[in-house]
Amino acid sequence: MLRPLLSMIDVALARHSDRIIANSRFTAAELNRVYGRTADCIAYPGIDYPAYLCEKWQKERAIITVARLSRFKRIDFLLEVFR
């Protein structure tokens, strides 16, 4: 019920941002679509690969996700698929 109002407020507030930095090309495209703004730059999140490697590394099934827990992200579906 409040979603349309909150969406309008969100879009209005985005117009007053000094800079917008996206974390991927997809997010930059969504910024353009939703807010009509172009991302000032894309800052890809870094991963320290050597920190995850070791001599006895074994392949195992794993899912790593970094996301806010919301219905849109479908973490429940991801867990069901993994199970």
pTM comes to: 0.51
> What is residue 63's predicted lDDT score, i.e. its pLDDT?
66
**Amino acid 58: pLDDT:** 67
Digit-by-digit pLDDT tens for the chain (83 residues) are 888 899 889 888 888 888 888 988 999 999 999 999 999 999 887 776 677 676 666 667 676 767 777 777 787 887 887 77
CA quadruple 49, 54, 57, 62: dihedral sign: negative
37, amino acid identity: R
